[in-house]
């Protein structure tokens, strides 16, 4: 589709932080070397964790299923290489608490046996078979949320979907994994999108990409028509890649409080998930590796790597040459939405888009002060929230009031904290409020269930 007369909508708020992308965006991605051991975390998707189906000492092939989905909102896991199943033990989780992980001890042969036949002629395939393949391949949202992909591709019958949106914005500073992927695996991204569009029965496919990736835009445009995709360059503004912001930018449609993209006729897929759909369907390969940017000023060779799921961060940093200066902070993901880590023993999961090291100068110690009601956070919040007021409620443990101020709509983009002159730990407050509210809702549900049993 031609871009002439294509209207781009500009979302409210947002910021322009230093993006650090020049550190790694011109370096071609490389395959990470085979390691001796991998630790595949059992909880890698939103919803129920999958059930372990292998035993200690069992031989597994590369791509063999090692944990199967436990219900509809769940995703299986597969062995990142051939070898032997070791212990299942708790390891540090990238989002906080320890998590169980399956140890895979490599046999060095790296032999595939996925049991998944390639569906080369997918255009003639049955939609149910394609959906089933995507579910069996364990594909989740690879842009951060890790929502099982097959669910997004199974909208309720009453929802009318007319647009598939591909998220190639990669607005998070420092990360260049999607950039390199769109440049190097252009066909896989576009063909994966065409498969998803067939499943959804939609004709309009829009790929939103920030205009700071001209080489990727050029590569995509060369093939886009072939797959019915319209590539839409978007102005650089964080968080352009937020799901609601992207839908608005490309369609002018607003997802309301508590709503879903499907409510406005859209399904959004990350470009990495599209490439994984292509791999699963056309190649018969489940999701066992991903593009991950290993970067930051202390890193010797900031670059993007095709890293297997289960790779310890300690080893991953070695792929990029290790460090050349003191690193004060390790973040899984980018500086705005990523999670700071206490240890190098965390591992790469399906949604690890980046591993970022920052120097002491870049992070800086600071103390936070009381809110001075300057309103900057309100002016810049892309979700139209009142971050300052919500944070005051959370500090005094008034979680119901925080809920009434729509804290559950917060996408944890970090914009408010970035602009706050009092350096208030706003996102931490909102994460705490959300977990308290969710815990209370779950307790109420369990109480109601007991009453009726
Ligand atoms: S309140 Fe939430 S959505 Fe709004 S700027 Fe802060 S982190 Fe982002
Ligand atoms: S930006 Fe910070 S100081 Fe200003 S109103 Fe928001 S929380 Fe308060």
**Phi-psi bin for 322: left (phi > 0), alpha (psi -120 to 50), beta?**
left
pLDDT attached to residue 223: 98
pLDDT attached to residue 72: 87
Contact 105, 355 (CB under 8 A): no
Distance from residue 375's CA to the centre of ligand 2 (Å): 6
Q: Which of 15, 387, 414 is the best mutation target for the ligand 2 pocket, counting ligand atoms within 8 Å of the beta carbon and taking the most? A: 387
Supply the residue whose CA is at minimum distance from atom 7 of ligand 1: 412
Strand order in the sheet with 329-332: 30-31, 303-308, 289-295, 354-358, 329-332, 339-341
pTM for the whole structure: 0.95
What SS3 state is found at 275?
A: helix
Contact 410, 337 (CB under 8 A): no
Distance from residue 175's CA to the centre of ligand 1 (Å): 20
Pairing outcome for strands 51-52 and 65-68: antiparallel
Which residues, listed in sequence order, are joined to residue 140 by a DSSP beta bridge?
A: 148
Distance from residue 415's CA to the centre of ligand 1 (Å): 6
Contact 193, 199 (CB under 8 A): no
Q: Is 433 in the pocket of ligand 1 (CB under 6 A)?
A: no
Q: Which of 239, 410, 427 is the best mutation target for the ligand 1 pocket, counting ligand atoms within 8 Å of the beta carbon and taking the most? A: 410
The alpha carbon of 194 is separated from its chain's Cα centroid by a whole number of angstroms, namely 20
Q: Where does ligand 2 bind, in terms of residues with CB under 6 Å?
A: 371-377, 387-388, 391, 419-422, 424
Strand order in the sheet with 37-41: 37-41, 96-106, 83-93, 59-60
* Biggest CA pair distance of the chain: 62
pLDDT attached to residue 30: 98
State the DSSP string of 263-322. Answer: GGTEEEEEHHHHHHHHIIIII---S-EEEEEEE-TTBSS-EEEEEETT-BHHHHHHHTT-
Provide the mean pLDDT of the chain: 95
Supply the residue whose CA is at minimum distance from atom 4 of ligand 2: 374
Q: Which of 381, 390, 407, 408 is the best mutation target for the ligand 1 pocket, counting ligand atoms within 8 Å of the beta carbon and taking the most? A: 381
pLDDT attached to residue 163: 98
Distance from residue 402's CA to the centre of ligand 1 (Å): 13
pLDDT attached to residue 95: 82
Which residues, listed in sequence order, are joined to residue 238 by a DSSP beta bridge?
A: 15
Which residues, listed in sequence order, are joined to residue 93 by a DSSP beta bridge?
A: 96
Supply the residue whose CA is at minimum distance from atom 1 of ligand 1: 387
Unique residue bearing structure tokens 């489940």: 286
Distance CA 437, CA 426 (A): 17
Give the number of the ligand closest to the Cα of residue 425. Answer: 2
Q: What is the pLDDT of residues 371-385, one digit of tens each?
A: 999 999 999 999 999
Q: What is the mean pLDDT, run by run of 10 residues, along the chain of 453 residues?
A: 81 95 98 98 92 97 97 95 97 90 98 95 97 97 88 94 98 98 98 98 97 98 97 97 96 93 96 98 98 98 98 97 96 95 95 96 85 96 96 95 96 96 95 93 85 74
């Amino acid at each position: 589709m031609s871009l002439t007369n294509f209207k781009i909508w500009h979302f409210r708020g947002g910021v322009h932080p230093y993006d650090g992308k020049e550190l790694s965006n011109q370096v071609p991605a490389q395959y990470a070397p085979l390691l001796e051991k991998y630790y595949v975390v059992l909880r890698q998707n939103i919803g129920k964790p999958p059930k372990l189906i292998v035993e200690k000492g069992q031989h597994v092939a590369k791509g063999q299923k090692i944990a199967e989905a436990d219900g509809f909102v769940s995703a299986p896991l597969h062995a990142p290489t051939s070898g032997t199943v070791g212990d299942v033990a708790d390891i540090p989780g990238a989002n906080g608490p320890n998590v169980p992980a399956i140890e895979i001890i490599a046999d060095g042969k790296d032999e595939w046996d996925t049991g998944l036949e390639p569906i080369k002629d997918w255009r003639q395939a049955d939609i149910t078979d394609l959906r089933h393949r995507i579910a069996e391949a364990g594909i989740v949202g690879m842009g951060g949320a890790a929502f099982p992909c097959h669910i997004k591709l199974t909208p309720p019958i009453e929802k009318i979907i007319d647009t598939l949106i591909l998220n190639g914005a990669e607005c998070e500073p420092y990360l260049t994994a999607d950039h390199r992927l769109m440049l190097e695996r252009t066909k896989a991204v576009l063909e994966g999108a065409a498969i998803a569009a067939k499943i959804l029965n939609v004709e309009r496919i829009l790929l939103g990409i920030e205009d700071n990736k001209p080489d990727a835009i050029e590569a995509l445009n060369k093939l886009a028509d072939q797959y019915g995709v319209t590539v839409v360059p978007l102005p650089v503004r964080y968080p352009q890649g937020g799901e609601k912001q992207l839908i608005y930018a490309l369609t002018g449609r607003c997802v309301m409080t508590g709503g879903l993209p499907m409510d406005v006729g859209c399904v959004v897929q990350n470009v990495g998930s599209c490439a994984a759909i292509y791999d699963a369907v056309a190649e018969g390969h489940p999701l066992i590796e991903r593009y991950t940017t290993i970067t930051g000023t202390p890193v010797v060779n900031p670059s993007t790597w095709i890293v297997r799921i289960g790779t310890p961060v300690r080893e991953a940093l070695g792929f990029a040459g290790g460090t050349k200066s003191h690193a004060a902070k390790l973040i899984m993901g980018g500086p705005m939405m990523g999670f700071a880590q206490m240890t190098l023993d965390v591992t790469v999961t399906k949604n690890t888009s980046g591993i970022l090291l920052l120097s002491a100068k870049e992070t800086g110690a600071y103390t936070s002060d009381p809110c001075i009601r300057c309103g900057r956070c309100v002016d810049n919040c892309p979700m139209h929230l009142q971050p300052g007021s919500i944070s005051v409620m959370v500090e005094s443990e008034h979680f119901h009031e925080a809920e009434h101020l729509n804290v559950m709509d917060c996408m944890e983009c970090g914009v408010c904290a970035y602009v706050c002159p009092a350096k208030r730990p706003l996102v931490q407050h909102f994460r705490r409020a959300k977990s308290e509210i969710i815990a209370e809702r779950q307790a109420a549900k369990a109480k109601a269930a007991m009453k009726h049993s």
